[in-house]
Amino acid sequence: MIQSFPAERGLRPWAWMLAIAVHGAFLMVLVFGVAWRHTVTPPMEAELWADLPAPATVTKPVPPTPLPPPAPSVAAPAPAPAQAPPQAADIALKKQQEAAEEARRQALKQREREVAEQIRQQRTAALREQEQDEARHEANEERRKQAAQIAQAAQQARAAMIDRYKLAIINKIRANTEVPEGVANGVTLEVDITVLPTGEILMPVKIVRPSGSLPGDQAVLRGIMRSQPLPLPGDPELRRDFRTTHLQLKHEK
Amino acid sequence: MNVTTDISLVTLVTNASVLVQIVMGLLLLVSLMSWSYIFMKMLTLRRARAQTTQFEESFWSGTDLNTLYQRTSANSTDAGSLERIFEAGFREFLRHRKGGAMEVTVVTSGVQRAMKATYQREMDRLEAHLDFLATVGSVSPYVGLFGTVWGIMNAFRGLANVGQATLAHVAPGIAEALVATAMGLFAAIPAVVAYNRYAHDIDRLAIRFESFMEEFSNILQRQIRPANGR
């Protein structure tokens, strides 16, 4: 006679529910109890500036001539980015900072002297010009030329800043790159990088001119990705110039 | 900004190859079944122990065997294993008595055979599904290992297509593959523990049943004597 086992009767649904509960609990422990993400805090970075960046001086020499203020392009100078970077609180760093501060002050004095000289020259030139030509039309012409000159100076300062940051970017990439064995020293790889304002790199990095060594290039590309965020100027005006950055990277050990 | 390496459980499972996913699914099913049997056997054995204890108490409390028999056969669908054994033995005894022939050896051996048959049937029911737990305990680690080996093979095959091999190319594949082994072990360990535990519990129950059978046949044998006694 086949009968259902009385001791087992009605237990099957309970058993299944308990089994599912056990699996659910185990899954919860796995999902919420284990840290599947692990974060690495990057080392702190500090930049040391030995001398004052150029644009600070360009802003000051608003020509003291009685002429009306020059073209508005000069009116929006880049604020000094020298104040932003240093943040490390090391004693050694502090000493270095003090040295840098001293150097900066001297550089500032030097610049001021130069600027004063420049201003004097400009003033005399303007006076002479005024004396030579009374016609208003020609005066306007001269004013325009002067404005153009100042704008050019600002442009140059800007270019210097960009070069400085480019160098910082290249240095960071180089620090993050491990060039593999057997790659020729000194060959150059040229890339175009699209950089977001946060310093992150928008993929893909475009290789303009490969160096000829594929493993070397791949190593550099990995180094570029590892260098995120790239050091960018604090000024959004300047930062815009880094949106597409052309870099020449030499393979060096 | 923080650098994050993100390997989550879900991506580990979804990125695995099809065969590994099949293995994982199989292991999950097996694990669910084995856990359900674990709980079912746990509750069943607990109930069986309680029923046995209860019957032993009422049997040794000096109740009349006839009333005990009637009570047992009245609700035979809910009776515990020991009650069934008692019922089978006493029924056989009553048949012999009704037949009139009260040869001691014949009756005792008949009663013992009837009880033995019921005992074996009850033991078979108590032991049901234990073989499944044993199989899961011994086989599922190998199934998981198979999934892992297959996944690692795939990971290395993918590595062959990459010119420059780094650890980052193989690591996710191996991690995916190892999930299969983890699942196999997760299914196997409780199954083995439960199998050993329940096998032991059932052995103890069997010993109780057997001692009861011996004692009960002694009692019946004593009842034959006065009936025969001339």
Cα separation of B9 and A29, whole Å? Answer: 11
Q: Which residue has the higher pLDDT, B59 or A162?
A: B59
Q: Quick check: A57 and A132 in contact, CB under 8 A?
A: no
Half-sphere exposure of B222 (CA within 13 A, CB side): 6
User: What angle, 0 to 180 degrees and rounded to 10, lies between the N-to-C axes of helices B18-60 and B104-127?
Assistant: 150
User: What angle, 0 to 180 degrees and rounded to 10, lies between the N-to-C axes of helices A214-226 and A136-176?
Assistant: 110
Residues A212 and A158 in one domain: no
What is the model's pLDDT at position B228?
A: 58
Half-sphere exposure of A122 (CA within 13 A, CB side): 20
In-domain check, residue A16: no
Task: For residue B48, give the nearest of B87, B86, B82, B84 by alpha carbon.
Answer: B82
What is the model's pLDDT at position A202?
A: 79
Mean pLDDT of B176-203: 93
What is the model's pLDDT at position A75?
A: 47
pLDDT of B6 > 60? The answer is no
- pLDDT averaged over every residue in chain B: 87
- pLDDT band, very low/low/confident/very high, at B113 (cuts 50, 70, 90): very high
User: What angle, 0 to 180 degrees and rounded to 10, lies between the N-to-C axes of helices B167-228 and B18-60?
Assistant: 20
Q: DSSP state, A67?
A: S
Cα separation of A96 and B171, whole Å? Answer: 43
In-domain check, residue A172: no
Q: Which of A144, A166, A188 is the last residue before a domain boundary? A: A166
Residues A89 and A136 in one domain: yes
In-domain check, residue A37: no
Is the ipTM higher than 0.90? The answer is no
Q: Which of A166, A191, A216 is the last residue before a domain boundary? A: A166
Residues A141 and A213 in one domain: no
Per-state percent for chain B, helix, strand, coil, to nearest 5: 85, 0, 10
In-domain check, residue A44: no
Task: For residue A243, give the nearest of A207, A190, A200 by alpha carbon.
Answer: A200
A11, A22, A38: residue with CB nearest B5: A38
Interface test with B, best of A1, A3, A8, A28 (most B CBs within 10 A): A8
pLDDT of B230 > 90? The answer is no
Cα separation of B3 and A226, whole Å? Answer: 9
Give how far B198 is from chain A: nearest CA, Å: 14
What is the model's pLDDT at position B2?
A: 40
Residues A158 and A186 in one domain: no
Residues A83 and A152 in one domain: yes
Encoded tokens for A63: 């020509």
Q: Quick check: A119 and A58 in contact, CB under 8 A?
A: no
Task: Kindly state whether B39 is in contact with chain A, defined as any CB-CB distance less than 8 angstroms.
Answer: yes
Scanning B163-202 for CB atoms below 8 A from A yields 163-164, 186
pLDDT of B162 > 80? The answer is no
Are B77 and A22 within 8 A, CB to CB? no
Residues A151 and A238 in one domain: no
pLDDT (tens place) for every residue of chain A, 253 residues total: 445 677 777 888 999 999 999 999 988 888 887 776 666 776 777 767 666 556 544 455 555 555 555 555 544 455 554 454 555 556 777 788 888 888 888 988 898 888 889 988 988 888 887 787 777 787 788 888 999 999 999 888 888 888 888 888 888 888 888 877 777 777 788 888 888 877 788 777 888 888 877 888 888 888 888 888 778 877 777 777 777 878 887 777 6
Are A8 and B77 within 8 A, CB to CB? no
Give the range of the structural domain holding residue A122, as residue numbers without chain letter.
Answer: 55-166
What residues of B are in contact with residue A6 (Cβ under 8 Å)?
77-80
Q: Provide the β-strand partners of residue A40.
A: B3
Are A7 and B47 within 8 A, CB to CB? yes
Q: Which residue has the higher pLDDT, B86 or A223?
A: B86
Residues A160 and A232 in one domain: no
Task: Kindly state whether A31 is in contact with chain B, defined as any CB-CB distance less than 8 angstroms.
Answer: yes
Residues A59 and A138 in one domain: yes
Residues A148 and A75 in one domain: yes
In-domain check, residue A20: no
Count of Cβ atoms closer than 10 Å to residue B10 Cβ: 9
Q: Which of A139, A166, A193 is the last residue before a domain boundary? A: A166
Cα separation of B68 and B219, whole Å? Answer: 14
Interface test with B, best of A11, A14, A32, A179 (most B CBs within 10 A): A11
CB pairs under 8 A between A and B: 86
Distant-in-sequence, close-in-space partners of B163: CB < 8 Å, separation ≥ 6: A214, A215
How does strand B3-6 pair with strand A244-250? unpaired
What is the model's pLDDT at position B3?
A: 40
Mean pLDDT of B104-131: 91
Question: Which residue of chain B is at minimal alpha-carbon distance from A44?
Answer: B1
Q: How many domains does chain A have?
A: 2
B8, B47, B164: residue with CB nearest A36: B8
Cα separation of B117 and B123, whole Å? Answer: 10
Residues A187 and A89 in one domain: no
Distances (CA, A) of B163 to A208, B175, B219: 22, 22, 86
In-domain check, residue A72: yes
Cα separation of A246 and A248, whole Å? Answer: 7
Residues A61 and A157 in one domain: yes
